């Protein structure tokens, strides 16, 4: 039993080391996209913080979702956050499954390049919408009488740039017309829908996305229109951007031959091939076999013998 555990642990460690090497090579090629996507997450948070300074509390707008769904109340507002945290953590763990599991379909770095591209495009549209029109927030801390509904003028630039994380993100106001939680949820679900392998998990993920939509409205964190806009906009963004991006290599065959070659490796291979051709060493060795010329045509060895026999017989 101990021998079996040790052997399996050794295989797992070799698998992890091999995957780390592969992902490091991919990261060296794509780190700019990852870094740009992460930096934009900060820019998105900074934009949401900035619109909070413009927010003016007022009467809650008439909303169909508020009439149809019972209000959860302040003491149960954490439920939607727990569901979102579950979705976020589950997706992150799934993207790192190639380091442990034998069956793998994705490369972690390439998937996150794709996910960040979807998020950035959706968040750009979100920033445009909530800066175009400021609505009175329906959340409890955004209503009239709340100390957090309005932010005092900042005393310094650093106060704005630091965005008071995480409190400033959780208790933000004014960033409406587009639900941020639904952007992340739908991008994660759509990504797993395409690259995941378990059908029941895909169905469960869509169910969670629907439940999350209802919880956001029931907890009065967003108006119903914010959730509706997120549903059709994120799907359209993912659809069009996914068509523009190159398709990810499929790893289901169990071979790493589909791993994208870096630019440096491509240049090195092309130089090596050109060097061989100039020195007369390139190509298939079979192409350097002696050939015989018959009637002005160059023929292979076997064809030459057949031709000679045919000529002698004639």
Rounded distance between C-alpha atoms, residue 220 and residue 75, angstroms? 12
Question: Mean pLDDT over residues 145-155, rounded?
Answer: 83
- The two structure tokens encoding residue 195: 């690259």
Question: Mean pLDDT over residues 172-196, rounded?
Answer: 91
Indicate the average pLDDT of the chain. Answer: 80
Residue 114, pLDDT above cutoff 60: yes
Rama region for 177: left / alpha / beta (φ>0; ψ in -120 to 50; rest): left
pLDDT of res. 306: 42
Query: Could you tell me which of 89, 69, 310, 42 has the C-alpha nearest to residue 213?
Result: 69
pLDDT of res. 270: 57
- The two structure tokens encoding residue 173: 């106001």
Instruction: Quickly list H helices, 196-246.
Output: 199-218, 224-244
DSSP for 32-50 reads HHHHHHHHHHHHHHHHHHH
Return the residue matching tokens 């791993």: 259
Q: Which residues of 106-136 are buried (b: 16+ CB within 10 A; e: fewer)?
A: bbbbbbbbbbbbbbbbbbebbbebbeeebbb
Cβ distance 179 to 233 under 8 Å? Answer: no
242: confidence class by pLDDT, cuts 50, 70, 90: very high
**pLDDT tens digits along 243-277:** 999 888 877 655 443 444 444 444 555 555 555 54
Rounded distance between C-alpha atoms, residue 179 and residue 12, angstroms? 40
The phi, psi pair for 293, rounded to 5°, reads: -100, 120
- The two structure tokens encoding residue 229: 């806009």
Rounded distance between C-alpha atoms, residue 21 and residue 81, angstroms? 36
pLDDT of res. 73: 83
**pLDDT tens digits along 196-237:** 989 999 999 999 999 999 999 999 999 999 999 999 999 999
Q: Which residues are catalytic?
A: 181, 222, 226
Rounded distance between C-alpha atoms, residue 25 and residue 31, angstroms? 10
Q: How many residues does the chain have?
A: 314
């Amino acid at each position: 039993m101990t021998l079996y555990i040790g052997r399996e642990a050794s295989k797992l460690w070799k698998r992890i080391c091999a995957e780390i090497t592969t992902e490091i090579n991919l990261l060296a090629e794509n780190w700019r996209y990852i870094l740009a996507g992460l930096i934009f997450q900060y820019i998105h948070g900074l934009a949401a913080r900035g619109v909070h300074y413009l927010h003016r509390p007022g009467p809650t707008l008439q909303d169909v979702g508020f009439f149809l769904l019972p209000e959860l109340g302040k003491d149960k507002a954490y439920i939607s956050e727990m569901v979102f945290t579950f979705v976020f953590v589950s997706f992150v763990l799934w993207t790192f499954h190639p380091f442990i599991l034998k069956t793998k379909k994705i490369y972690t770095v390439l998937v996150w390049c794709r996910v960040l591209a979807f998020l950035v495009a959706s968040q750009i549209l979100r920033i445009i919408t909530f800066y175009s029109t400021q609505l009175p927030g329906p959340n409890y801390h955004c209503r009239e009488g709340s100390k957090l509904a309005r932010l005092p003028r900042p005393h310094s630039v650093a106060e704005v740039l630091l965005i008071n994380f995480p409190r400033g993100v959780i208790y933000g106001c004014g960033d409406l017309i587009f639900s941020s939680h639904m952007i992340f949820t739908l991008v994660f679900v759509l990504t797993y829908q395409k690259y995941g392998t378990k059908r029941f998990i895909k169905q469960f993920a869509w169910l969670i996305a629907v439940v999350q939509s209802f919880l956001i409205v029931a907890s009065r964190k967003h108006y119903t229109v914010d959730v509706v806009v997120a549903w059709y906009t994120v799907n359209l963004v993912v659809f069009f951007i996914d068509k523009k991006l190159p398709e990810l290599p499929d790893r289901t065959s169990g071979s790493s031959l589909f791993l994208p070659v870096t630019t440096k490796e491509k240049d090195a291979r092309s130089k090596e091939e050109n060097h061989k051709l100039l020195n007369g060493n390139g190509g298939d060795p079979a192409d350097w076999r002696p050939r015989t010329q018959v009637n002005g045509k160059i023929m292979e060895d076997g064809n030459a013998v057949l031709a000679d026999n045919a000529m002698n017989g004639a």
